[in-house]
Every structure is written in C-alpha cells, then in structure tokens.
Amino acid sequence: MEQQVPEIQETKQTSMGATESAETERAAEAQEPLTTTSAEQTTSAETGTEPLPTVALPTQPIKKREGKIDITPKGEIRFYATGRRKEAVARVWLIPGGTGQIIVNDRPLLDYVTRISLYEEVIEPFRVTNTLGMFDVRATAKGGGLHGQTGALRHGIARALVVWNEELRPILRRYGLLTRDPRAKERKKYGHKRARRGFQFRKR
C-alpha cells in the first residue's frame, strides 16, 4: 500500500500538467486573431488609409409597410411601392443616384401623359420633398384612364419615397400624398340616365 501512493500522486501531477498545457494552447489560439487585427491596424495606420466599412446588401427583398427594398441584377438598390387611383394601378421603382429620368411603360413621362399639368402632378412628391432629380423612376401603369394613372403614379412615388426615408412621411402626409384619393365615378342607377340625372320628361 505504501508503494502505490506515490504512483497515484504522479498520475495526478501528469494529468494536471496536461490540462494546464491544453489551457495555455486554447489561450494562445484565442489571442491569435487579436494580434492579426492589431497588425492590420498598424499597416493601415502606416499607409494612412482607413479600412472601408462593410455594407451588408440585402439578399432578399426587405418588406416595409408602404413597399419593399430590393436589388436589381445589375446590383442597384431600388425602392418599390404601389400606387392606386380610381381603376388605375401603378407599380413604381425608385433608383437613387440617377439623372431624374422617369419612364412609364417604357416611355418618357412627358411623352406618356402628353400634358404639362399631368406631368406636374406626377412629380409633386419630389417637389415638396426637395428630391427632384435624385432618382431614376421606372414605373408601369395599367387600368383606368390617363388621369387615373397619373394619380396612381403620384401615389406610388410618394409611398416609395417613404420606403427610402421614413422622415419624409410628415411632409408627404401634410400635402395628402400618402392617402389614396377615394373619389371615383358613381354607379348608374335604374330609372336614371346616369348616376342621378333623370330622363327627359314632357307631359304634353
């Protein structure tokens, strides 16, 4: 029994030494990335160039209340929203950093609406937010007439601007550009020529 005691103590010492060596190796591995980052910082400081910030681009569309944010196949970030007026529906994409070009159904806006008054109505959200010329606009409009599509385009552009910058919401809300215009043609009733106009009547 007396001879077995030192053997047990020796095994304990060896096991403790192995654990200590494993802990030192783990600590050295944990310190390695810190040394590399400090070395990279010293090299950037020597060259005088700041490291570029990493921008996380969305791999999938980011949905918001008014629309969504996605990326084109060319790598351009664009802001999407839908506008409505009467029977017309407009799908609008805003691309930042453009020249202010507005394309509707593959045609320039002024060529599509053909009137200055309708053109001014479409660009009103840009005018009240001082963002005129900051975006390229790609839009598709369908349904309704020309005036209804103009209102839908204005509604879609206003909502897309809110997707781009939430701080523009109070300004656009003040001008009533975020609210869909509920006015529409009243339906015809029986016994009337139109919605309320009666038929001409002559007794004799």
Q: What is the C-alpha separation between 156 and 125, in angstroms, rounded?
A: 10
Q: What is the C-alpha separation between 86 and 149, in angstroms, rounded?
A: 8
Largest CA distance in the chain: 141
Given a cut of 90, is residue 162 above it in pLDDT? yes
Asked if 156 contacts 92 with a C-beta cutoff of 8 angstroms, the reply is yes
Average pLDDT, the chain: 80
Question: Mean of the pLDDT values across residues 3-13?
Answer: 45
Q: What is the C-alpha separation between 181 and 156, in angstroms, rounded?
A: 12
Q: What is the C-alpha separation between 166 and 173, in angstroms, rounded?
A: 12
pTM flag (> 0.75): no
40 compared with 66, residue with greater pLDDT = 66
For residue range 90-146, list pLDDT tens digits in order.
999 999 987 889 999 999 999 999 999 999 999 999 999 999 989 999 999 999 999
Domain ranges in the chain are 1-44, 62-174
CATH level 2 (architecture), domain 62-174: 2-Layer Sandwich (3.30)
Given a cut of 50, is residue 156 above it in pLDDT? yes
pLDDT band of residue 57 (cuts 50, 70, 90) is: low
Give the pLDDT of residue 68: 87
pLDDT band of residue 66 (cuts 50, 70, 90) is: confident
Question: Mean of the pLDDT values across residues 59-72?
Answer: 80
